[in-house]
Structure 1
Amino acid sequence: MTQVLDSLTNKRILLGLTGGIAAYKSAELTRQLKTAGADVRIVLTPAAAEFITPLTLQALSGNPVHQYLLDPEAEAGMGHIELAKWADLVLIAPASADFIARLAAGMGNDLLTTLCLATDAQIAIAPAMNQAMWRDQRTADNVDALEKLGMEIWGPGVGDQACGDSGPGRMLEPQQLAELCATEFEQGTLSGQQVCITAGPTREAIDPVRYISNHSSGKMGYALAEAAAEAGAKVTLISGPASLAPPPRVELVRVDSAQEMLDAAEKQLGNCDLFIAAAAVADYRPASVAEQKIKKNNEQMTIELVKNPDIVATVASHPQRPFTVGFAAETEKVIEHARGKLERKKLDLVIANDVAQPGIGFNSDENAVTVVSADDQQRIDQTSKHKLARTLVELIAQRLKPNN
């Protein structure tokens, strides 16, 4: 897969198929878009379903195939509105002469034409038809009308056709169409990168109803995951218990304990370019967990604690180590402790913040940090965690590039 397709990572491509023998090419197009990191959903017209089965396209896209205008399984039965809002790009490939005519006339008599009327996304048309149909003046007028509406016309190609004719009318090849899709999007600073981020607190069980934890809300880690996805990365977010909605276009892995978080992180190694340890991991856990709830029988209770595994240090020392970024939440000597963590754990960057300051850090919507590296440090003043996340992602991406 060529580097030009990196800009498709996390993009939402709605692929519409109309009736034509070229529909078989759309299976390979779906595969290429998915391989490039795009999320692909497919709409079939009734005629398209005569040429290729929904099951084939469902298996390749990993999503259900949509065929019906009023889908009782869709939210409020308005599937066309859901899909229209979901898409970043609508590509009709193959686009038959009949479909082009109906779309140019503003018709909405099936799911595909209706969502084309309802979407704000860019629409691209990949014509596929007999050469005589393509040359017909009425088809030319319809194509001109679509172009005037701002739609892209990709193709057609020239060559032999299934009917035995030769000339213009062939649908472009899947690789060409995938690359044209990629040109619709700017390449983000993390395009094509695999990013793993830990977030939130961990919980270390004492008994079936009690645990040791901390005040982390997960807001910083979730904001970083969203910002990395916006920058074009394929993001896995490993989250401890947090009452936050999963960021869009991010794979969420939920865990409770430090050991579960480490296990999940180690599964990412080998396919991970960047690891950001934003979770507030409990340093210690009870040496043993009571099988039943501990009763309040004594004035005092002693719990023996043992050290938890150090997740970020384990990742940084792995033979297939990614670029590794740690967090240092400190209450004193913030830069000194952050630099010690950087050197001791052999990290590439440490993002340090003073959690003793009111209004930032744990449970707050804002933060202020200092990014510490081996050769310098950079202060980022107090701002919202979402803005801070975007700034950090851009800064990390600049540091990451020389390593790739």
Structure 2
Amino acid sequence: MLYPMSPKVVELKRKLESFMDRHIYPNEERFYREAEELGPWKVYPVVEELKPLARAESLWNLFLPDSGHGAGLTNLEYAPLCEVMGRSHLAPEVFNCSAPDTGNMEVLERYGTEKDKERWLKPLLAGEIRSCFAMTEPAVASSDATNIESSIVRDGDHYVINGRKWYTTNATDPRCKICIFMGKTDPDNADRHKQQSMILVPMDTAGVEVKRALPVFGFYGVPDRASEVVFTNVRVPKENMLLGEGRGFEIAQGRLGPGRIHHCMRLIGLSERTLEKMCRRVRSRVAFGKPVSEQTVTQERIAESRIMIEQARLLTLNAAYAMDTVGNKVAKAEIAMIKVAVPNMACQIIDWAIQAHGGGGTSNDFGLTQAYATARLLRLADGPDEVHRNQIARFELKKYSNA
């Protein structure tokens, strides 16, 4: 292996895989049923029942690097564990390793005051509450985050917040108690990347209204609880400002780098699971006098799937290694490349698996439609393909600026 796992990671991976076999896979059908029947505004009992079991086995907050609260793993060490958890939609929250809580906890860990950590980080680490991240807006092209129009205006010892956000994951969850909100404190600043700030907004503050749940390809609550939230003259203490005015993009870059690694490794796990389903299906079905697995087109798709997964994994591990060794800023190209490559890889493999399952693949019975919704969503979340491709091209062209 180019990136061998340490004995610590090997043992954690073994424990995770055992937990998945004993508790996650047997409860997936129940999880999807509860998500469908209860909807995005309720807590799913199966998740709450499994959390204490994961915590009892020390499979908890594995994502946190350099912290006394988690496993203290690097991005490279966490990556294979994230892949295992990504094999099931049920798993990440059970281990307290699901977005956007992971990114929000990292923000609070790095930039929050001691008071913030006591009030918000501590219960998040314990899995007692959940959080949301309000950045994307329906009124502007949010692929360019400098377009954000929401306002954060200083008024004495408070800030007054106004704006409409959507795809604010988790806002409909009744356990969601804190929001990290991104808006403009200095809209006239000549540097467009210094106009924005991030601020903590308790969800029970007057003027915060969760308008509706947003479906992702018709799914509510899975793969996430996408929501539309309106903030009308919301007043919060000035101490809720994170890091300082104009530092929003700085925080965002620190937050999104590890998040993109997590998304990509989870998608690789989901792709592995999908390939397994495809192989089992085609070996069990006969068409035109022979097993579907003996059809050349099927074999080609299986072979291509294996190649694509291996390529994506190596690319993602390389990005994780670069982040650990040279930092997020220097590793921007590596991070951008996986954000394009991995979701596209997953979409293709899931599409082939749907085809292999026939009409049944378009139902919810095999978990493939839910998987596709996740993969397709991630071609947009944390920046669309086009933005990352442009960034990669600029990095490449810069090498020849003196040619």
More strand, by proportion: 1
Taking structure 1 as the reference length, the TM-score comes to 0.23
Taking structure 2 as the reference length, the TM-score comes to 0.23
If asked which structure has higher relative contact order (CA below 8 Å, sep 6+), I would say 2
Q: Which has the larger radius of gyration?
A: 1
